[in-house]
Amino acid sequence: MSDRAYVFGYLPGAAAPDLLGQVIVFETGNSGFCRFKYAPSWLAQSKAFAVDPDLLPLDEREFESQPGWEVFSALRDAAPDFWGRKVLERQLGRIGLTELEFLLATGDQRTGALAFSSERTFNSGSSAPSSHRLAELMDAALRLERDEPIPPDLLTLLGEGSGSLGGMRPKATVERDGDLWVAKFPAKDDRHAITRWEHATLKLAARCGIRVPRHELVEVGDRPVLMTRRFDRRKQRDGFARAHLLSGLTLLGLHERDYGAGSYADLAAWIRRHGAMPREDARELFLRMVFNIVVGNTDDHPRNHAVVDAGDGFRLSPAFDLVPQIATGTQRSQAIGVGDHGRDATLENAVTHAGQFGLDDEEAQAVIRNLRLAIAQGWNEDFIAAGVLGPELTAIEGLLRPYLE
């Protein structure tokens, strides 16, 4: 059994995509594999980009994946995440879609600069809903979580943003003030105000010198919604320019099932090979690793890291999905490797690989000192301003205390 899709790519600044290539899938599941080949017309473009500079460089040959890869990881990056898959399964009325089916069903607001079609031509014709419909979209998301009926027009609107970044949480892509934003909604099973926590953590990260997307916390009714501006889209006169995006999972050459594999140092090595500003971005990656350790963001798996190329080469994307995680016990582990002691979430472990980020021991210690000082001076203000109070504020303090004393 085989199936195929045409792959399209948005060249830098382009409002419409060009045919990029074709992917053919042979069977599915752990025994499946795929083949990919660039279109000659794409290879002839002066601004053509490689889908994956390591595994899919610009070349006339046909590429074949390893067994167990239904599509190459760089193509998978354009597919929806857990929430987006849930939306599409409801739209299509069935579960167990193949990876290719998800890619073909994802709306035009998908992440990155790729698009997919069963035909040799591509017609998007879709746009993100207005932010004025946030209340309706949030209600539809809650209905989806509860497996309740959803009006078809609202389900369609949810589906338009099914391919945006954001992991497992309910969300929607909306247009606001001429830009595209991801609206993250509270989830029905939240034990605390996650959207407030994430907003405060983004502010705290910026205070520490980490690049983050523009973000705002808005109240919709009596519920806090986190708005983050899409960093893979840029408004232009004839629509939105798109940046090619690769997840950390793709950079590491890993599959979804490879939990715990790879490390921050491995990500830094990819940045050194292919990044447009490798020294700057590798050092910021070290800063982000230390920040995640200190604030207790242990959900720093490879899909929560990315690089983007808007036409000037790959840069480390703004940080996203930064949320402290409440855990039992005193020992914490990050989702990927930190240093010589694996995933142990300690500052001592972090500095053991400092050289792989372009830092000597003295520079690494200075990064840690400055970050701890910035967090100590600002965490309380940022979380209170986001509306995190009472026991939740106490919980955040408990996460930070061991790393700030």
Q: Cite the residue boundaries of each domain of the chain with CATH code 1.10.1070.20.
A: 248-404
Does pLDDT of 369 surpass 80?
A: yes
Per residue in 261-284, pLDDT (tens digit) is: 999 999 999 999 999 999 999 999
The chain-wide mean pLDDT, for the chain, equals: 93
What is the per-residue pLDDT for 1? 45
314 and 308 Cβ atoms separated by less than 8 Å: yes
> Which string of DSSP letters, residue by residue, matches 85-98?
HHHHHHHHT-S---
* Residue 59: band (very low, low, confident or very high) from pLDDT cuts 50, 70, 90: very high
Per residue in 114-158, pLDDT (tens digit) is: 999 999 988 776 778 889 999 999 999 999 999 999 999 888 888
Length of the chain equals 405
Q: Could you give phi then psi for residue 246, rounded to 5 degrees?
A: -125, 135
Enter the DSSP assignment of 319: P
Cα separation, 274 vs 69, whole angstroms: 23
Identify the H or E element spanning 167. none
What is the per-residue pLDDT for 35? 97
What is the per-residue pLDDT for 165? 65
Q: Cite the residue boundaries of each domain of the chain with CATH code 3.30.200.120.
A: 131-229
What is the per-residue pLDDT for 331? 85
Identify the H or E element spanning 42. helix 40-43
* Residue 160: band (very low, low, confident or very high) from pLDDT cuts 50, 70, 90: confident
What is the per-residue pLDDT for 377? 95
Global pTM reads 0.95
Helix (H, G, I), strand (E, B) or coil at 356: helix
Query: What residue type is 374 in one-letter code?
Result: A
Per CATH, domain 131-229 is 3.30.200.120: yes
Give me the sign of the Cα torsion angle 353, 359, 360, 364: negative
Identify the H or E element spanning 128. none
Residues pairing with 217 in the sheet: 226
Which has the higher per-residue pLDDT, 145 or 238?
Answer: 145
Per residue in 292-338, pLDDT (tens digit) is: 999 999 999 999 999 999 999 999 999 999 999 987 767 899 999 99
Per residue in 219-235, pLDDT (tens digit) is: 999 999 999 999 999 99
Cα separation, 288 vs 319, whole angstroms: 8
What is the per-residue pLDDT for 125? 63
What is the per-residue pLDDT for 109? 86
Identify the H or E element spanning 235. strand 233-236
Which has the higher per-residue pLDDT, 260 or 385?
Answer: 385
101 CA to centre of own chain:
21
What is the per-residue pLDDT for 29? 62
What is the per-residue pLDDT for 162? 63
Q: Could you give phi then psi for residue 240, rounded to 5 degrees?
A: -125, 130
Least confident range from 172-186, 196-210, 280-294: namely 172-186
Query: CATH assignment of 248-404, given 1.10.3720.10, 1.20.272.10, 1.10.1070.20, 3.40.50.300?
Result: 1.10.1070.20
